[in-house]
Chains A and B, each alone.
Chain A
């Protein structure tokens, strides 16, 4: 039963916050309690998986290939725990950031409905069920993007909705073709049935549909245009959750499906994924160099980091997969921290575009450092968590002897550093047009505390890296050799 709690808790919280529609303080209290409960549930699942290996639960007691299975291996469990962490941080951050108007119009119920979708997508072992969780997540995020919205929010949402709906249709078609060719939807069952069949035409066609769908959800080249158009428009708390979690779901789906269901190594799929990965890295980093505000720089930064994660999957050696998994997990914290930092900067400077916002280093040096740490981590500077992620990917690409890929990993890291340095120079170092005072007033503790927690985690994972890196190694081993996962799904029906 434990595995269903990360879905039940946010849904329950969403319903309770809706019942408390008229009272914003009640919604806030319920929302915080729900997020904390989600974190506890995530940590309990993580503890269970660390102790006993992958666990599975069958919905309604239907045995494995017929019913809907929820599975948590270490990768899924860690992601669900991270969802809980980001949820708590974002709910606290929202106290100071989200306007009362947005709260009255459903910010809290929508946030929790989206978290339910995210957790469901991470935990499900059934590919059609994953489609359903994607939709839950998607429709709640549509609402979050427009809630209490102005012109820019509405415009961003139109692009987000329009392009994500196409991905939805592709996902559905891919699942339909896959079912037609195999008669299975359970991913563990699909693994068994597709053994050695990857090159058959219907299978490849379904893989193409799924790559299209997941690549657009993950904002990979050339399907990323919705992301830089929309992620900078809603409240900063919403931005932080979207940036920290939503694109990760797309990458998670790619990693899960292209390790468990399809073979990647030595197929046409591998070549395609490699090109998509490298182009995403380069285009994202180049786009980040020219954007006029922190959040829009970070939006392109997401495209670039997602490219890195996909590169690890596409190289497909155990070491590369290890790098991709570690990159993904630490990037959740980095991106959440960065977008919260953008929110604090906006509050302090009173504006978001670089030409009207600057001077933060002089006015608030310590707060500026809180932003600088995840920014340097994004660029892969030691001793922060992003450094180890990039190091692993460099080692993995060196090990397969693809020097072009090594160059891409390092070169794009340099471009990212340049983009972050530009943010630092324009948004923090240069003088504010209205003098160096923090014109937007002081940043409230509810904003600084979650941001400081994220930054602290980035430093912790960077300096005390061994346990986290070891955990990522175990995750990669479980992904590359899913024997324990299969045993959990088909074995005991808990």
Chain B
């Protein structure tokens, strides 16, 4: 199971990195989402993967044995929620900058650091 998750995380990072290097803003964000899901998988695997064993302490017991650690799952939930917020903001920002700059090519967006002599700082 760990092997499957590791391969999946690797695949997500590879695909995500490919998209992020496209030089366009929207694919960049999609790639970033894939990579952040790979990070979630890393945390998931770090809490051990078990099948159908709820992490409940039996009556009179002190610790659970043979069950997955529930804490990383809580961490992933937190990370997913935060990731949602960031992604929504980033998408809104992308849409807004597309409306303003009429492009999602990152190389063409030079309004904050105009190239000296070039016409990039036109208004």
Chain A interface (Cβ < 8 Å from any Cβ of B): 128, 131-132, 135, 138-139, 142-143, 146, 151-159, 161-162, 165-166, 168-169, 172-173, 175-177, 179-181, 183, 185, 228-230, 232-233, 292, 296
Known: A172-B36, A176-B39. A155 touches B110 (CB 8 A): yes
List, in ascending order, chain A residues with CB within 8 A of B53's CB.
none
A176–B96 contact, CB under 8 A? Answer: no
List, in ascending order, chain A residues with CB within 8 A of B35's CB.
166, 169
B93–A142 contact, CB under 8 A? Answer: yes
A169–B97 contact, CB under 8 A? Answer: no
B123–A165 contact, CB under 8 A? Answer: no
B43–A155 contact, CB under 8 A? Answer: no
Q: Does B100 contact A (CB under 8 A)?
A: yes
Q: How many Å lie between the Cα of A292 and that of B94 in the bound state?
A: 28
Please tell me which one of the listed residues B40, B46, B94, B106 contacts residue A177 in the complex, with CB atoms under 8 A apart: B46
Q: Does B101 contact A (CB under 8 A)?
A: yes
A228–B113 contact, CB under 8 A? Answer: yes
B116–A161 contact, CB under 8 A? Answer: no
List, in ascending order, chain B residues with CB within 8 A of A157's CB.
93
Please tell me which one of the listed residues A138, A179, A181 contacts residue B75 in the complex, with CB atoms under 8 A apart: A179
CB nearest neighbor in A for B109: A155
CB nearest neighbor in A for B9: A173
Known: A232-B112, A292-B116. A177 touches B97 (CB 8 A): no
Please tell me which one of the listed residues A138, A156, A169 contacts residue B39 in the complex, with CB atoms under 8 A apart: A169
CB nearest neighbor in B for A232: B112
List, in ascending order, chain B residues with CB within 8 A of A230's CB.
112
List, in ascending order, chain B residues with CB within 8 A of A176's CB.
39, 42-43, 46, 72, 75
Q: Does B18 contact A (CB under 8 A)?
A: no
Q: Does B68 contact A (CB under 8 A)?
A: no
Q: Does B78 contact A (CB under 8 A)?
A: yes
Q: Does B45 contact A (CB under 8 A)?
A: yes
CB distance from A302 to the nearest CB of B (A): 15
List 7 contacting pairs A-B, 8 Å CB cutoff, sorted by A.
A131-B79, A135-B82, A139-B86, A146-B96, A180-B47, A233-B112, A292-B116
Interface members, chain B 7-60 (any A CB < 8 Å): 25, 28, 32, 35-36, 38-40, 42-43, 45-47
A142–B89 contact, CB under 8 A? Answer: yes
List, in ascending order, chain A residues with CB within 8 A of B82's CB.
132, 135
A155–B75 contact, CB under 8 A? Answer: no
B123–A151 contact, CB under 8 A? Answer: yes
B89–A152 contact, CB under 8 A? Answer: no
List, in ascending order, chain B residues with CB within 8 A of A153's CB.
112
A179–B72 contact, CB under 8 A? Answer: yes
Q: How many Å lie between the Cα of A138 and that of B87 in the bound state?
A: 13
Q: How many Å lie between the Cα of A228 and that of B109 in the bound state?
A: 15
CB distance from A485 to the nearest CB of B (A): 23
A158–B75 contact, CB under 8 A? Answer: no
A172–B39 contact, CB under 8 A? Answer: yes
CB nearest neighbor in B for A233: B112
CB distance from A295 to the nearest CB of B (A): 11
CB nearest neighbor in A for B123: A151
CB nearest neighbor in A for B16: A169
What 10 pairs across the A-B complex have the smallest Cβ distances? A180-B46, A176-B43, A155-B111, A156-B112, A151-B111, A155-B112, A173-B39, A152-B112, A176-B42, A172-B39
Q: How many Å lie between the Cα of A34 and that of B75 in the bound state?
A: 31
Identify the interface centre among A146, A154, A166: most chain B CB within 10 Å of its CB.
Answer: A154
List, in ascending order, chain A residues with CB within 8 A of B112's CB.
152-153, 155-156, 159, 229-230, 232-233
Q: How many Å lie between the Cα of A128 and that of B77 in the bound state?
A: 12
List, in ascending order, chain B residues with CB within 8 A of A138's CB.
86
Q: How many Å lie between the Cα of A138 and that of B28 in the bound state?
A: 19
A158–B89 contact, CB under 8 A? Answer: no
Q: How many Å lie between the Cα of A450 and that of B75 in the bound state?
A: 41
Q: How many Å lie between the Cα of A348 and that of B69 in the bound state?
A: 61
Q: Does B90 contact A (CB under 8 A)?
A: yes
Q: How many Å lie between the Cα of A157 and that of B69 in the bound state?
A: 38
Q: How many Å lie between the Cα of A180 and that of B41 in the bound state?
A: 12
Please tell me which one of the listed residues A159, A172, A228 contacts residue B43 in the complex, with CB atoms under 8 A apart: A172
Q: How many Å lie between the Cα of A139 and that of B101 in the bound state?
A: 23
Known: A161-B90, A165-B86, A169-B32. A154 touches B96 (CB 8 A): yes
List, in ascending order, chain B residues with CB within 8 A of A139's CB.
85-86, 89
Please tell me which one of the listed residues B32, B42, B93 contacts residue A173 in the complex, with CB atoms under 8 A apart: B42
Please tell me which one of the listed residues B79, B90, B100, B116 contacts residue A172 in the complex, with CB atoms under 8 A apart: B79
CB nearest neighbor in B for A136: B82
B46–A179 contact, CB under 8 A? Answer: yes
A229–B25 contact, CB under 8 A? Answer: no
Q: How many Å lie between the Cα of A168 and that of B113 in the bound state?
A: 24
List, in ascending order, chain B residues with CB within 8 A of A131's CB.
79
CB distance from B94 to the nearest CB of A (A): 7
A155–B42 contact, CB under 8 A? Answer: no
Q: How many Å lie between the Cα of A268 and that of B97 in the bound state?
A: 42
Q: How many Å lie between the Cα of A461 and that of B88 in the bound state?
A: 44
CB nearest neighbor in A for B104: A158
Q: How many Å lie between the Cα of A48 and that of B11 in the bound state?
A: 51
Q: How many Å lie between the Cα of A180 and that of B97 in the bound state?
A: 40
List, in ascending order, chain A residues with CB within 8 A of B89's CB.
139, 142-143, 161
